[in-house]
Amino acid sequence: MAQIRELKKRMVAVRTIQRITKTMQMIATAKFNAALQRARASRPYTDTIRKLVEEVSAAAGEVTHPLLERPAKPSGTETVLVITSDRGLAGSYNGQVLRKAERLVRELQQAGKKVQLLVAGKKGVAFFRFARIPLTRSFSFGDKPAFEEAARLADEFMSDYAAGKSDAVHVVSMRFVSAAKQLPEAINLLPISSTASPSAGGAAARSSTLEFSPSAEQILSDLLPRTVRIQVFQCFLDSVVSEQAMRRVAMKAATDNATGLGRLLKRNFNRARQAKITTELTEIVSGAAALS
């Protein structure tokens, strides 16, 4: 009797968990669709302005800009921004990002650099505190990061870099590739690379045909800060959509596991109940046979 009661309690608990995980899966799906639209809407602009910077900087010749060059007097400090989530139950999302961030921080420390660590998300804060890696600052942008907040953070990075307080700025986050593929990456935000990539449509080959109006210095002074701001914002957008995609998959797997476990418990419950009925019938028959 005790086994039957225990099985019934477990069946009720599993059904409750199944309803919760199913609801969380539906919520994650809705948030994923909304975040995906925002990330896809900004991605063409991010890629285009990046290619434009490569093309203009390649064609500008001897023109320089503080954001393109390393500081003349290195301070020995480098800034690392790590983007994680505020909530768990997102599969391996936080684990992948934090492992990559920890490797980067350790490498910089081994190279003799002082690391200025900024962490977005409560999960990242808890991890680095447990790992005894000191944080410079922590904050959260939530599920809908605003461009203004990302731009203010990017402006701080550019200001510190231009003032020589930081020799480089790195961003560790999850890059969204597709609904089935998300990759942790560490990008060098500052200094901005002025090397034209092969996919830039032959920018280097066309550099001699470009004419600047206004001057290349003015164009770069406007384009480079825009590039840094939109890159930081894109990192946050990709992180949010990747988090929801991985949470949706994790909750679907949890729902499927709960369904399978519920079937197994129901089968065991039926067997235990049948065994109890058989035992009671055997006792009744045995008692009747003894009386006769």
pLDDT tens-place string over residues 35-79 = 999 999 999 999 998 888 888 877 777 777 788 888 778 889 999
Residue 14: predicted pLDDT: 94
In the predicted model, is pLDDT for residue 25 greater than 70?
Answer: yes
Residue 29: predicted pLDDT: 94
CA 240-241-246 angle, to 5 degrees, is 100
Residue 143: predicted pLDDT: 85
**CA–CA gap between residue 157 and residue 225 (Å, rounded):** 10
Cβ(237)–Cβ(44) under 8 Å?
Answer: no
* Mean pLDDT calculated for residue range 83-112: 94
Residue 173: predicted pLDDT: 95
**CA–CA gap between residue 45 and residue 40 (Å, rounded):** 10
* Mean pLDDT calculated for residue range 21-34: 94
Q: If you average pLDDT over every residue of the chain, what do you get?
A: 88
**CA–CA gap between residue 117 and residue 119 (Å, rounded):** 7
* Mean pLDDT calculated for residue range 262-273: 91
Domain positions in the chain are 65-193+209-246
Closest C-alpha among 54, 19, 43, 65 to residue 221: 65
Sign of CA pseudo-dihedral 6, 8, 10, 13: negative
In the predicted model, is pLDDT for residue 144 greater than 60?
Answer: yes
In the predicted model, is pLDDT for residue 256 greater than 90?
Answer: yes
**CA–CA gap between residue 80 and residue 116 (Å, rounded):** 6
* Mean pLDDT calculated for residue range 254-259: 94
% of residues, the chain, pLDDT over 70? 93
Residue 245: predicted pLDDT: 95
- For the ranges 6-15, 54-63, 76-85, the lowest mean pLDDT is seen at 54-63
Residue 194: predicted pLDDT: 63
Arch. (CATH architecture) of 65-193+209-246:
3-Layer(aba) Sandwich (3.40)
**CA–CA gap between residue 89 and residue 81 (Å, rounded):** 22
Structural tokens at position 242: 């990747």
Which residues does residue 83 pair with via DSSP β-bridges, in sequence order?
A: 120
Residue 209: predicted pLDDT: 66
pLDDT band at 195; cut points 50, 70, 90: low
